[in-house]
Amino acid sequence: MAETKTRLKNSLIDKVVMDESLQLNETTESAWIDVIQKMDKVYADLVHYQVELEQKNAELEEAQQFIRSVLESMREVLIVCDTGGRILQVNQALEDLSGRLERELLNFPFNELFGLESQPLVEQFSEKLGNDDVVDCEVNLLTQGGGFMPLAMNCSSRYDIKGKLLGMVLIGRPVGELRRAYEALNKAHIDLKQTQEHLVHSEKMASLGRLVAGVAHELNNPISVVFGNMHALKRYGERINNYIADVNKHLDPDLHKELREKYRIDKIESDMGPLIEGTMEGAERISNIVLDLRRYSGIQKEQPEPFELKHVVMTATEWVIKASREKPEVRYELLDSCVIRGRQGQVHQILINLIQNAIDVMERQAEKLITIGCDRDDKDVRIRIHDSGPGVAEGDMNKLFDPFYTTKEVGKGTGLGLYISYGLARDMGGDLSAENSADGGAIFTLTLPLKVEADG
């Protein structure tokens, strides 16, 4: 009992001030002690609840501050409304765009923030209030100074914890930012796609180069044999003719005439020379083709050498015309002589591509005419190939030299000819351009330096 009294004196009972000491008997004293103990427990609970309440208030303030900082840092416009369309809350982004503070916008009808042309769209927000669907549209937000800002806005319904509809939440983002983001993404996608196409194309061209180099090497061996045998056959033919002439001197004239007619010696002698010369000329042409194939293969980089440009232009034209089903008229307006120092094989390949394209675009034309002209100055030479086709469409002009771009029907073009030709021209320090002629048709101009520097 004495310990209990002492404990009470150190707790709530110490806070009780009395003017006079109480006269307690044993029964009343016990009752007072019980009351004081209960009061002490209630006081301790109040202190504990007070501490918890202060902690909850601190957490609530921290949460509110966090939400406020998030709302203020949002670049998107945020508008919170009740079911009647009255504004309950906005963020800093809306204040900046509209030029009005949040306190000025509270209880303000949200639809008055938007232009007249956007009102039909804004009315959909209230009409679809309570639906789970998100409404998306583009509206014009009125800004300070009487202007407007296009926003890509969506609207969703807002509910409390019990599922009761409280209003709606509008979130809008300036369309300019979306467009810039989309354009940046689209450009990155196009760049990635082009890079992928370049890699695929490079691998295809490398494989084709290895194949062409291998074929050229295999053809070169039998061509050498043909050359050697034809030269030997030419010498043997001359000796046989001399032998026959000597034998004829010792034969009876009638027998000699009879044997020559029987074995048709006169025809053999007249045909022997042209046959040998024709075969050697054909073998020489094949040898030149093999040499060009080796140049085109790209396995061994062709070094610049002096060559007659007129000869290359004429040869490339003849190659394409002979292999083409259509035989257009070709007019030459070339320089009498123009020797340049460059990569003959690459120039030959560019010209073949340009002339072939000219023939292809004139497929449905009644008049098929190709005019090939050439002029030069102190530094460059220009070769112009003018066709009588329909010309290049305005929308296609900027895409002509893109890889895999073609205006031909499916299966008739790969879209690589002009792309490769443009790359070869640039590699030699020149250029390749296209334009429509005032007289009709298209003009492709190949510009080459008079002197191409060697690699390395």
The residue whose two tokens read 């427990």 is: 41
The DSSP element (H or E) to which 53 belongs, if any, is helix 26-73
Contacts of 67 (CB under 8 A, 6+ apart): none
Cα–Cα distance, 384 to 446 (Å, whole number)? 6
Q: Is 348 exposed, middle or buried (0-12, 13-18, 19+ CB in 10 A)?
A: buried
Instruction: Please identify every stretch of the chain with a pLDDT value under 50, giving residue numbers as ranges.
Output: 1-13, 16-17, 299-300, 411
Residue 209 has a pLDDT of 65
Domain ranges for the chain, please list them: 303-456
Residue 203 has a pLDDT of 65
CATH class of 303-456: alpha beta
Cα–Cα distance, 38 to 225 (Å, whole number)? 124
pLDDT digits (tens, 9 = 90+) for 193-207: 877 776 776 666 666
Residue 455 has a pLDDT of 58
Cα–Cα distance, 431 to 379 (Å, whole number)? 13
What's the pTM value of the predicted model, to 2 decimals? 0.41
Radius of gyration of the chain (CA): 48
Residue 80 has a pLDDT of 92
